[in-house]
């Protein structure tokens, strides 16, 4: 989990104020509790705060988005709806790479470059591992220590959830809130676990793959799908003794990228090197990202991709809702048990059983 000082100011404490104070509490403590309870902001107060760029309101609204409580979910829906007209104004950048490649160091350096240029930057993460393993691959240490303190930056750890779909959906909704709060750059970080890269790719405009120069065959162990998704590959830690190997890796990756067919965007992905630690080459990465946005905004691909992504998320949402409704239905649960039993006794086939269940579900 990315720890952020913002979270300590979050509304979570106030939100717990729904219990009556026990008799033993002193009057002043009871008054304090009561006034804390009053501090729970309303939907319209949160929306107002978000639109004014208030980080506490933004944090509190995201807590609603992430909450499982029905009441919060309803409030989250209302907040998102109110924010929607102010969304879509940012550029969204996905960043991926294995643990230790330097994601947080890079985002800190890149984020600072952006805020120094006057932009507001929000950093979100998609890390379903935090709910699966109880610990987060993105690290429980305090990350991006300087960026966290930057008034123009907002850092939020990955939402927890029991599925990647759930985490991804919450992140997507969080993007809307961040955009309404005036963030110009939304950076979404992920590690290459399972499908999380695909999920981040499907909610960002630009996808950056961070790599390390290894010994020799750079392309080994890199999934073809990820190469295809990448709009840029950045070889990090190009400093000290590593600089030469990084330059070599850059050549190899560039050569490999040329073998892929031209993208619909007409953009040709490129490989760069940088040292996030020494803050070298970050400006070149930013120049490349700017070139990408100039090209794709001019040729219409930027909007086209966002439309495609909206369609994808619409269908995805329907699909997951239908699936949930189906499996949660008591009749289906019972019938599924029965069919599984029949299957184990060789009295039906998986296809027949599926058809039977689907018929029941109609
Ligand atoms: P993450 O797990 O991908 O977020 O990686 P971190 O940003 O936490 O970095 C992992 C380690 O690599 C830390 O010890 C960093 O100081 C170090 N590191 C990150 N970027 C660089 C770099 O450009 N050069 C060098 N030499 N070390 C780096």
Specify the higher pLDDT residue, 197 or 214: 197
Residue 314 has pLDDT above 50, yes or no: yes
pLDDT > 60? residue 353 = yes
Looking at residue 3, what is its pLDDT? 36
Residue 6's contacts (CB-CB under 8 Å, 6 or more residues apart) are 55, 56, 59, 148, 154, 155, 156
Close Cβ partners of 71 (under 8 Å, ≥ 6 residues apart): none
Instruction: Establish whether residue 103 lines the binding site of ligand 1, counting it when its CB lies within 6 angstroms of any ligand atom.
Output: yes
Q: Taking Cα atoms as reference points, which of 250, 137, 127 lies closest to residue 197?
A: 127
Give yes or no for a contact between 48 and 61, defined as CB atoms under 8 angstroms apart: no
> Looking at residues 87-100, what average pLDDT do you find?
91
Mean pLDDT of 7-27: 42
Per-residue confidence band for 266, with pLDDT thresholds at 50, 70 and 90? very high
pLDDT at 165: 79
pLDDT at 298: 96
Q: What is the pLDDT, as a whole number, of residue 6?
A: 41
Q: Do 190 and 184 contact (CB within 8 A), yes or no? A: no
* pLDDT recorded at residue 188: 95
Our answer on whether the CB atom of 234 is closer than 6 Å to any ligand 1 atom is no
DSSP SS3 for 321 = helix
pLDDT interval class at 134 (50, 70, 90): very low
| Spatial separation of the C-alpha atoms in residues 164 and 161, rounded to whole Å | 7
In this predicted structure, what is the pLDDT of residue 31?
Answer: 66
pLDDT tens, position by position, 25-35? 566 666 665 56
Provide mean pLDDT across the span 258-279: 92
- Residue 273 beta carbon below 6 angstroms from any ligand 1 atom: no
- Atom 10 in ligand 1: which residue has the minimum CA distance? 100
Tell me the CA–centroid distance for residue 275 and ligand 1, in Å.
9
* Cβ of 275 below 6 Å from ligand 1: yes
pLDDT at 143: 75
User: In which band, very low, low, confident or very high, does the pLDDT at 228 lie, cut at 50, 70 and 90?
Assistant: confident
How far is residue 308's CA from residue 208's CA, in Å, rounded to a whole number? 20
pLDDT at 11: 38
Out of 39-43, 73-77, 79-83, 347-351, least confident range: 39-43
Residue 162: its pLDDT value, please? Answer: 66
Q: What is the pLDDT of residue 220?
A: 58
Q: Which of 68-72, 206-210, 262-266 has the highest mean pLDDT?
A: 206-210
Our answer on whether the CB atom of 141 is closer than 6 Å to any ligand 1 atom is no
Domains for the chain: give ranges and CATH numbers: 39-86 (1.20.5.170), 88-299 (3.40.50.300), 311-361 (no CATH)
Q: How far apart are CA 349 and CA 124, in angstroms?
A: 45
């Amino acid at each position: 989990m990315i720890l952020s000082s913002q979270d300590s100011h979050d509304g979570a404490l106030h939100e717990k104020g729904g219990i009556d104070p026990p008799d033993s509490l002193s009057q002043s403590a009871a008054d304090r509790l009561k006034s804390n309870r009053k501090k729970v902001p309303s939907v319209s107060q949160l929306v107002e705060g978000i639109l004014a760029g208030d980080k506490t309101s933004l944090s509190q609204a995201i807590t609603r988005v992430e909450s499982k409580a029905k009441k919060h979910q309803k409030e989250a829906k209302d907040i998102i709806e109110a924010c929607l007209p102010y969304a879509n104004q940012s550029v969204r950048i996905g960043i991926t790479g294995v643990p230790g490649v330097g994601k947080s160091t890079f985002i800190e350096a890149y984020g600072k470059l952006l805020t120094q240029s006057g932009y507001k930057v929000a950093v979100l993460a998609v890390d379903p591992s935090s709910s699966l393993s109880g610990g987060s691959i993105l690290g429980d240490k305090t990350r991006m220590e300087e960026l966290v303190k930057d008034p123009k930056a907002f850092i939020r750890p990955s939402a927890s959830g029991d599925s990647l779909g759930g985490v991804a959906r919450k992140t997507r909704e969080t993007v809307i809130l961040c955009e309404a709060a005036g963030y110009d750059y939304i950076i979404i970080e992920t590690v290459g676990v399972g499908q999380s890269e695909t999920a981040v790719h499907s909610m960002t405009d630009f996808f950056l793959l961070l790599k390390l120069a290894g010994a020799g065959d750079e392309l080994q162990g890199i999934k073809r799908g990820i190469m295809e998704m990448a709009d840029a590959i950045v070889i990090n830690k190009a400093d000290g003794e590593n600089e030469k190997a990084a330059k070599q890796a850059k050549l190899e990756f560039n050569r490999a990228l040329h073998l892929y067919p031209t993208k619909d965007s007409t953009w040709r992905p490129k490989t760069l090197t940088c040292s996030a630690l020494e803050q070298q080459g970050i400006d070149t990465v930013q120049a490349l990202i700017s070139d990408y946005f100039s090209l794709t905004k001019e040729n219409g691909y930027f909007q086209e991709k966002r439309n495609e992504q909206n369609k994808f998320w619409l269908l995805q949402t329907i699909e997951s809702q239908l699936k949930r409704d189906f499996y949660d239905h008591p009749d289906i649960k019972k019938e599924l048990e029965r069919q599984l039993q029949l299957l184990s006794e060789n009295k039906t086939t998986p296809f027949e059983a599926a058809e039977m269940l689907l018929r029941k579900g109609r």
